[in-house]
């Protein structure tokens, strides 16, 4: 939170000394562009009513009705109003929503709004009904409580998004995600003002859309897990009702094994092909040298263009040329393709892919679609009317913008990498020092969080998306100056619980998975351990153990969550203990509580492991946590008493910490770095707390 927002918070507290600070404190995510607290507040009771005036699409009335129900659910108040309708009679209401026009769910549509809360009325004024949707979510987040009941604090908010493209990619191919998973995530996206669902629908491991033009695509390439066209239309409409665009991705020419199972004549090498069960980069690739490929794609893309009305259409285009040595092997070994390249003066495979992409661009342009692709499609021979999505690094996004292409950032937003929230939060698509002119900066449309599905199931996907994606949503909506990490984490805990009302499972499935692992036993000792575990990062999990699409996703590593809250709090407490005399005593008390619990936990967990063999793989992690917690307690005692530990103790203790840092069961302890700090401080000659 920047100084502007802090000033007005201080003003609010000064004007309202009777309101507890924790009730009046700002809890919005994303933080609005401008906000000023007045000191007034609107009290809620069962007479609360809502009215829409001006011009608005039907979606505003249905959205407002859902917001009223959510408000009733949060407060327990029995509001007399049932549905918000166009036919509602004119007159005043507690909440007046004014929309000037019906917005189009298109890139760049106005999503701004002004929200004013006084003691007598709440007024939400927006240029479009889409802006009104965003403002309603802000109002719900403002809901506060004190000894007299629920209220909205007095405030004036003027808000508009920083970037027009704020997305979440859901991969439904590597593991299929049923419609209900997609819908609950759409609801959560709307709650934090994301506005693009990037739906990854074809991959080596599965083709996920019904095609009536080429039915063998879903019949042979999906293992029976695909979306019927009626379901696609339903999801697109569901998203539109929430002001969210749906951009489909059909990955070509690589990552195409599932296409070739059904239609091997599209391939660059002879078949037969089978749906891929493993993860990685594979040789199968479409043949860019035959007209059959483009005839096929034209008919298929034409069919899909009717299902997905958004102007943007993603073709993938990634990982044809791969540094690991693949280098489009099937292209290289196909004599006809090599002859085609020679005849047409195509120097290399990058040029061949550029030729393919130009042909696909012509097809999509014919259907009034704008082509989007991963940064591998960036090539000087491609027209500038496409969009580049950068996943390999910020440099490709910057270079694309400099060349005149519009671009998106996903590098740094790969939530499947299990990076901590603050890593994503501080990853700005458009930092002040980016070497772009003002005109080039306009080419940066925004960004997308990417949820690739190698290691998630419908039970666990929410825990990988949320709540971290709410922080990414703030980065894409709020002013660049909003960068207070501690305050972000404070607000994130509030938002995470609010998101549960949409049916998300990121909080509740944690205990469920632990209960299953415990086989009916007491989960307390297991939870004590898993609270400080995280899955290994980036692509380490697949390197440590061979996985297929049928491998179980029910182990401790699947229950363990990214950015483990207990571990993060311990690390913060250690930092305060070692650096701040003012808060050192309280931090010491908390550290001792943590360490004592962890030291004693292993004996209890051993009893559970004995009757639940699935837990055996993390038994040594539990034992190591107990050992280093004992060492941590010794270190804290020495630091408090200003008694230096001998070098031999430090050396042996650090060896134990190093052993504890080794992952087991594809999970790792997230408190070892803080333990190391304690041990080194206990052995330091400069103990000056």
Exposure class string for 481-497: b at 16+ Cβ within 10 A, else e: ebbbeebbbebbeebbe
**Closest C-alpha among 150, 145, 134, 38 to residue 94:** 150
Report the distance separating Cα 575 and Cα 671, nearest Å.
Answer: 12
Cα Rg of the chain (Å, integer)? 27
The string of DSSP codes covering 397-413 is HHHHHHTT-EEEE-TT-
Q: Other CB atoms closer than 10 Å to residue 276's CB: what's the count?
A: 20
| Beta strand pairing call for 113-117 and 122-128 | antiparallel
- Residue found under tokens 């099937």: 330
Is there a contact between 202 and 259 (Cβ–Cβ < 8 Å)? yes
Report the distance separating Cα 215 and Cα 276, nearest Å.
Answer: 19
The sign of the torsion formed by the CA atoms of 613, 619, 620, 623 equals: negative
**Closest C-alpha among 413, 402, 481, 480 to residue 443:** 402
Report the distance separating Cα 61 and Cα 129, nearest Å.
Answer: 9
Report the distance separating Cα 210 and Cα 219, nearest Å.
Answer: 8
84's torsion region: left (phi>0), alpha (psi -120 to 50) or beta?
A: beta
Is there a contact between 364 and 370 (Cβ–Cβ < 8 Å)? yes
Report the distance separating Cα 37 and Cα 675, nearest Å.
Answer: 43
Helix axis angle, 619-641 to 672-682, nearest 10°: 30
Report the distance separating Cα 399 and Cα 553, nearest Å.
Answer: 39
The sign of the torsion formed by the CA atoms of 540, 545, 546, 549 equals: negative
Burial of 423 (0-12, 13-18, 19+ CB in 10 A): middle
The string of DSSP codes covering 245-304 is EEEEE---SSS-HHHHHH-GGGBSS--------B-S--S--B-TTSHHHHHHHHHHHHHH
Please name the residues in contact with 380: beta carbons below 8 A apart, sequence gap of 6 or more: 403
Report the distance separating Cα 40 and Cα 153, nearest Å.
Answer: 6
Reduced to 3 states (helix: H, G, I; strand: E, B; else coil), residue 50 is: strand
Report the distance separating Cα 31 and Cα 2, nearest Å.
Answer: 10
How far does the chain reach from its first CA to its final CA, in angstroms?
Answer: 30
Helix axis angle, 349-366 to 335-343, nearest 10°: 80
Cα 689 to chain centroid, rounded: 40
Considering the candidates 319, 376, 448, 474, report the single residue annotated as catalytic. Answer: 319
Q: What is the largest CA-CA distance in the chain?
A: 82
Beta-bridge partners for 113 = 126, 159
Beta-bridge partners for 407 = 388, 444
Residue 103 in tokens: 């917005």
Active site residue 319: yes
Report the distance separating Cα 165 and Cα 429, nearest Å.
Answer: 11
Catalytic residues: 319
């Amino acid at each position: 939170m920047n100084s502007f927002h802090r000033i007005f918070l201080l003003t609010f507290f000064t004007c309202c000394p009777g309101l507890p600070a924790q009730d009046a404190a700002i809890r919005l995510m994303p933080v609005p562009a401008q906000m000023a607290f007045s000191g007034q507040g609107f009290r809620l009771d069962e007479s609360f009513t809502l009215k829409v005036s001006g011009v608005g699409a039907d979606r505003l009335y249905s959205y407002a009705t859902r917001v009223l129900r959510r408000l009733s659910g949060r407060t327990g108040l029995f509001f007399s109003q049932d549905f918000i309708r166009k036919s509602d009679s004119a007159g005043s209401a507690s909440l007046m929503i004014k929309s000037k026009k019906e917005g189009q769910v298109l890139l760049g549509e106005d999503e701004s709004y002004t929200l004013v809360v006084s003691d007598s009325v709440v007024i939400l004024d927006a240029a479009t009904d889409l802006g009104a949707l965003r403002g309603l979510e802000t109002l719900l987040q403002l809901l506060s409580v004190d000894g007299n009941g629920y209220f909205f604090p007095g405030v004036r908010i003027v808000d508009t998004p920083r970037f027009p493209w704020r997305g979440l990619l859901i991969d439904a191919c590597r593991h299929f995600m049923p419609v209900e998973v997609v819908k609950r995530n759409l609801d959560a996206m709307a709650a934090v003002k994301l506005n693009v669902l990037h739906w990854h629908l074809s991959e080596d491991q599965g083709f996920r859309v019904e095609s009536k033009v080429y039915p063998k695509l879903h019949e042979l390439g999906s293992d029976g897990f695909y979306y019927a066209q009626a379901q696609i239309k339903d999801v697109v409409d569901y998203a539109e009702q929430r002001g969210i665009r749906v951009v489909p991705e059909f990955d070509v020419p690589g990552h195409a094994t599932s296409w070739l199972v059904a239609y091997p004549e599209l391939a660059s090498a002879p078949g037969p092909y089978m749906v891929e069960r493993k993860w990685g980069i594979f040789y199968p690739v479409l043949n860019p040298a035959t007209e059959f490929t483009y005839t096929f794609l034209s008919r298929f893309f034409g069919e899909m263009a009717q299902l997905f009305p958004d102007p943007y259409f993603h073709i993938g285009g990634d990982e044809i040329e791969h540094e690991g040595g693949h280098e489009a092997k099937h292209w290289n070994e196909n004599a006809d393709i090599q002859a085609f390249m020679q005849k047409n003066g195509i120097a290399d495979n990058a040029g061949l892919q550029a030729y393919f992409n130009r042909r696909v661009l012509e097809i999509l342009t014919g259907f009034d679609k704008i082509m989007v692709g991963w940064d591998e499609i960036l090539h000087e021979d491609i027209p500038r009317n496409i969009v580049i999505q950068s996943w390999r690094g910020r440099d490709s996004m910057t270079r694309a913008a400099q060349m005149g292409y519009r671009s998106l950032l996903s590098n740094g937003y790969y939530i499947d990498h299990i990076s901590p929230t603050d890593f994503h939060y501080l990853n700005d698509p458009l930092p002040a020092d980016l070497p772009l002119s003002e005109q080039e900066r306009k080419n940066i449309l925004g960004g997308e969080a990417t949820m690739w599905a190698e290691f998630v199931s419908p039970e666990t996907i929410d825990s990988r998306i949320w709540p971290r994606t709410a922080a990414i949503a703030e980065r894409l909506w709020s002013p660049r100056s909003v960068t207070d990490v501690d305050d972000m984490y404070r607000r994130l805990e509030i938002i995470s619980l609010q998101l549960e009302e949409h049916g998300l499972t990121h909080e509740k499935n944690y205990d469920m998975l632990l209960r299953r692992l415990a086989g009916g036993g007491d989960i307390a000792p297991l939870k004590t351990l898993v609270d400080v575990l995280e899955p290994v990062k980036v692509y380490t999990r697949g390197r440590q153990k061979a996985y297929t699409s049928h491998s179980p996703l029910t182990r401790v590593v699947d229950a363990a969550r990214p950015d483990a809250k207990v571990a993060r709090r311990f690390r913060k407490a250690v930092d305060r203990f070692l650096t701040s005399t003012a808060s050192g005593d309280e931090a010491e008390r908390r550290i001792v509580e943590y360490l004592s619990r962890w030291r004693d936990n292993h004996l209890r967990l051993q009893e559970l492991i004995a009757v639940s063999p699935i837990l055996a793989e993390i038994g040594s992690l539990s034992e190591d946590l107990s050992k280093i917690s004992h060492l941590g307690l010794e270190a804290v005692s020495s630091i408090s008493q200003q008694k230096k530990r001998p070098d031999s103790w430090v050396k042996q203790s650090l060896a134990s910490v190093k052993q504890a840092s080794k992952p087991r069961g594809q999970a790792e302890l997230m408190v070892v770095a803080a333990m190391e700090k304690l041990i080194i401080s206990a052995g330091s000659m400069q103990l000056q707390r």
